Amino acid sequence: MPDQTVDWVAWHRSYDDPDSSQARRLARVQEHLRRAIDDKPGPLRLVSMCAGEARDVVGVLSDHPRRNDVSARLVELDARNVGVARSAIDAAGLDQIEVVQADAGTTDSYLDAVPADIVLACGIFGNISDEDVRWTVEHLPSLCASNAVVIWTRGRLQGRDVAHTIREWFADAGFEELAFEVPAEAQYWYRVGVHRLWAGPRPLELGVRLFTFLR
């Protein structure tokens, strides 16, 4: 569960600076999301964990030629972010996208929204313990359809970079890596990973706590 002492609306303001790490990371996530949609014909189901203001999903679907093929559930706990996301979705006319105000760290929030063809786990792994990251990755197959694509992000924490270990955890959970990006410029801290589930998906187990935010 995200720490409600953090002003998550103010946290999103960094996205408005095109030279910030968050803005650059968002652009990479959007590019991978576009590619994932383009590569999957027919109707698609998408889930976004800790969706924030939905800038990644709305930024892609608002002008995507296959926007009507994508239905989605966006899970976000902060009420103000939920309001911003719903307003953006309404403005873009994305009637098939729902925003649920709920704790993305519990599997109950995904009931009737999975298995999904695309799962976004962005802005999570840098805010939870390494143990919770591993636990979440292990359970991602229960949110995924066959050959589902997961897009995730991670930043450095006080000089620590466990992104390569996270990649190993994805492999152990039955995913193949499609992309992994580290910016060449030292001032940008983000990492973006893209993995496809090659192992069989698993049924959703309700009542499972996936992660808890540290701050």
Average pLDDT over all residues of the chain = 91
pLDDT tier, 186 (very low <50, low <70, confident <90, very high otherwise)? low
- Using the predicted structure, report yes or no on whether residue 162 has a pLDDT greater than 80: yes
Q: Is the pLDDT of residue 159 over 90?
A: no
User: How large is the average pLDDT for residues 23-51?
Assistant: 97
pLDDT mean over 48-74: 97
Do 106 and 135 meet the contact criterion of CB atoms below 8 Å apart? no
Label residue 60 exposed, middle or buried (CB < 10 Å: 0-12, 13-18, 19+).
Answer: buried
Under 8 Å CB-to-CB from 139, ≥6 apart: which residues?
A: 107, 205, 208, 210
Range scoring the smallest mean pLDDT among 1-5, 18-22, 34-38, 63-67:
1-5
Q: Give the type of residue at 15.
A: Y
Domains and CATH numbers, the chain: 8-197 (3.40.50.150)
According to DSSP H, which parts of 39-151 are helical? 55-61, 79-92, 130-139
In the prediction, which pLDDT does 13 show? 47
Q: Contact, 193 vs 152, CB < 8 A? A: yes
Q: Which of 190, 194, 158, 151 is nearest to 14 (CA)?
A: 190
What are the angstrom distances between the C-alpha of 11 and each of 22, 154, 162, 185? 10, 16, 23, 22
Is the model more confident about 148 or about 12?
148
Decide if pLDDT at 11 tops 50.
no
Output the pLDDT for position 155: 81
CA-to-CA distance for 134 and 73, rounded, in angstroms?
23
In whole angstroms, give the CA distance from residue 91 to residue 73: 17
For the whole model, what pTM was predicted? 0.91
Cβ atoms 108, 83 nearer than 8 A: no
pLDDT at 183: 86
Highest mean pLDDT: which range of 18-27, 66-75, 161-170: 66-75
Q: Which of 14-23, 35-44, 48-57, 167-176 has the lowest mean pLDDT?
A: 14-23
What share of the chain in percent tops pLDDT 70?
87
Q: Render pLDDT for 100-138 as a digit per residue (tens, 0 to 9).
A: 999 999 999 999 999 999 999 999 999 999 999 999 999
Task: Calculate ∠ Cα 170-171-172, nearest 5°.
Answer: 90
Residue 5 binned pLDDT confidence (cut-offs 50, 70, 90): low
Q: Rounded distance, CA 192 to CA 207, Å?
A: 29
Q: What percent of the chain has pLDDT over 90?
A: 81
